Amino acid sequence: MAREIGVVGAGAWGTALAKVLADKGEQVTLWCHGAECHRDIVSQRENRLYLPGIHLPANVAATQSLATALANKLLVICAVPSHAVRAVFSAAAAMVSPQTLLLCGTKGLEEGALNTMGELFADIFGADNPKRQAFLSGPTFAIEVARGLPAAVTVAAYFEPVARTVQEILNTPSLRVYTSTDVVGVQIGGVVKNVIAIAAGISDGLGLGQNARAALITRGLAEMTRLAARMGAESTTLAGLPGLGDLILTCAGDLSRNRSVGLQIAAGMSLSEITASTRSVAEGVRNTRSLYLLAERLGVEMPIVEQMYAVLHGGKVPVTAVRDLMQRSLKPEAG
């Protein structure tokens, strides 16, 4: 018997998850913010704005009604950009049944408050609700997941049975799902990797070579692990799919929006020109400022993040940022 699942957010990732679940036989309701996206899915069975070329089966029902997407669902998946989560889910909170499982597939920090998505959900749904929440992360490009190419992700939950339930719902022959109880670690990996990927794109765009990219990935992992550990995560989580796996993909993959931002910056484009040229949100652009401020608040040294903040929001020349990274004081690798 098909299970009722709601996906809130019809960007590339939300649409890909809707297709994966529908192909598995679930009944999926996909909430679309925009009228054009909704119209295309209903009339063409394709999200031409965000996931062109992917046919959506009949058991994906598109809607612009948030109540319809949420009512009587076993599982509701959050797939809106991080800057929209509070507004959308504050409106949704009263419509979600206490028995509904919530899976956050959004990677990012809340601007201003610097909350993780877990902290934001706790704020919206109350202190008693987190036991029904889970968080999804891992090295995935939406288009490849939608095409059924092999991928692996991690679902973290405060309550292990919830993680196992979501694991069973999401797992398919082409999407392997692992579980974790390290909610913080799984979330932080998905935030930091975006900023490091912008740095990797700048490095590649400047022609600094594969040695430089490997160094950025490795030292980016060190920064990611330091921050996550400071927030109570297990360092081993960052060596897995939500940390190192996602970092490698986002820094090296040609489909990476964040790496693309770095390439464009290296080519001399301004941030305003880059953001005006695309519908898709590169979360690293928004999260660089938040991550920089969070590291400052917690007293965590994150030199790559600091330099990306200076480039994106302080007008620093990328070549100068690279030079300053290379000329930092000498220290042991573990430092």
Q: For residues 136 and 163, is the Cβ–Cβ distance under 8 A?
A: no
Of the candidates 89, 102, 94, 135, the residue with the CA atom closest to the CA atom of residue 116: 135
Residue the block writes with tokens 């599982």: 75
- Return the active site residues: 193
Around 43, how many Cα atoms within 13 Å sit in the side-chain half-sphere?
A: 7
Burial of 43 (0-12, 13-18, 19+ CB in 10 A): exposed
Both tokens of 300, joined, read 């965590």
Around 13, how many Cα atoms within 13 Å sit in the side-chain half-sphere?
A: 25
DSSP notation for 40-108 = HHHHHSB-TTTSTT-BPPTTEEEES-HHHHHTT-SEEEE-S-GGGHHHHHHHHGGGS-TT-EEEE---S
Could you give the CA distance from residue 14 to residue 9 in angstroms, rounded to a whole number?
5
Q: For residues 171 and 138, is the Cβ–Cβ distance under 8 A?
A: no
Of the candidates 166, 147, 155, 173, the residue with the CA atom closest to the CA atom of residue 16: 147
Which residues pair with residue 101 across a beta bridge? Answer: 75
DSSP strands (E only) in 209-289:
none
